Amino acid sequence: MPRQCRLNLPGVLHHVITRGIERRAIFLDDDDRREFLTRLEDGLQKTGCLCYAWVLMPNHVHLLIRTSATPLSDLLRRLLTGYAVTFNRRHHRSGYLFQNRYKSILCQEEAYFLELVRYIHLNPVRAKMVTIMKELDRFPWSGHAVLVGVQKSYWQRREEVLDRFGSQESLAVERYRRFIQDGWGMGRRDDLVGGGLRRSAGGWEALAGMKNNKDYQRGDERILGDGDFVNAVLKESEEALMEKERLAKAGWTWERLVHKVCQEAGISPQDLFRKGRSNAISRAKEMVVKAGIQKMGMRQRDIADKLGLTQGALSQIYRRCYGKAEGDILLS
């Protein structure tokens, strides 16, 4: 059975799991762990993705990531490939380090954000690497120690997790620790690896009919959420793919997009590649970036190369225009 394609949607939550080949160790010492975290920090900065929870176990890793305009695959390819090369060189080995592809599960945020933070950070407890809360607080290879304030990490989104427990930091930490303690005996959660409606062979009309008839089937393994959420995610992904194919058939290229945007913004194509604070140029850059990513399905790094920008700078542009209707441009 062919493997399913990735769901590359911006601004969504992913639970990422990657394991060592044949469940072998992927960290042999603390230098390995520090190398992995350094590469993770670098990848987050360059792609604009955000990390809320993480844990490094001897033979696997869990991450809770929010995507940016850059596909999740760009972050993980940079992270895992670079780490594997360094690991092999350090330990005088060759061959694959990680087992198959990493697993990424797109998650319904309202229902699962805190459950996933807790599940990820309780990994050392389930593995009996720690036995009491004070040991978990001091465990250096997970984001839990950052959330309780024992360690510092400028790339982990600590405040965005603690804000869900209260506006006062000390009280939020106390409530978070109580939340972790309440799940202390939690075993493996199979329900955290996907769920919802399966896409039917009859397309979206048939799927809607299944939903109306309460005909719930096995969920899409790439998505964790209820049926409505799974349906919405798959529909959005398919619509994005169909729009990309439509524009390609209509002859839309990067050059044609630039010409169209510059014409509407009242600037020349040469102006688009200049640095400066001109409102017209800034608006044009937002328009071409948004249309290139959302409508034409271009990769962020390719657009950055064409505009002579870093991926970090392009991510900032996309975050400014994401969700703003005035940044849209009609491509017919």
Tell me the per-residue pLDDT of 12-46, one tens digit each, with 9 for 90 and over: 889 999 999 999 999 999 999 999 999 999 999 98
222: left (phi over 0), alpha (psi -120 to 50) or beta: alpha
Residue 15: φ, ψ to 5°: -95, 115
More confident residue, 261 or 21: 21
Residue pointed to by tokens 């940079």: 78
Whole-number pLDDT of residue 71? 81
Q: Is the pTM of this model over 0.75?
A: no
Give the percent of the chain with pLDDT over 90.
Answer: 42
Angle at 176 between CA 171 and CA 181, to 5 degrees: 125
If one counts every other C-beta atom within 10 angstroms of the C-beta of residue 152, the result is: 9
Q: For residues 154 and 156, what is the distance between their CA atoms, to the nearest angstrom? A: 6
Q: For residues 306 and 273, what is the distance between their CA atoms, to the nearest angstrom? A: 9
If one counts every other C-beta atom within 10 angstroms of the C-beta of residue 118, the result is: 20
**Which of the four pLDDT bands, split at 50, 70 and 90, describes residue 206?**
very low
Q: For residues 269 and 305, what is the distance between their CA atoms, to the nearest angstrom? A: 16
> What are the tokens at 97?
């380090």
- Identify the CA nearest to 312 among candidates 152, 109, 78: 78
Asked if residue 4 lies in contact with residue 101, where contact means CB atoms within 8 angstroms, the answer is no
Asked if residue 170 lies in contact with residue 178, where contact means CB atoms within 8 angstroms, the answer is no
Q: Please check the confidence at residue 262 and state whether its pLDDT lies above 70.
A: yes
Q: Which domains does the chain have, with CATH numbers?
A: 13-188 (3.30.70.1290), 194-242 (no CATH), 250-332 (1.10.1750.10)
Residue pointed to by tokens 């940044």: 327
When the pLDDT of each residue in the chain is averaged and rounded to a whole number, the result is: 79
Give the percent of the chain with pLDDT over 70.
Answer: 72
What are the pLDDT digits (tens) for 155-191? 999 999 999 999 999 999 999 999 999 999 886 766 6
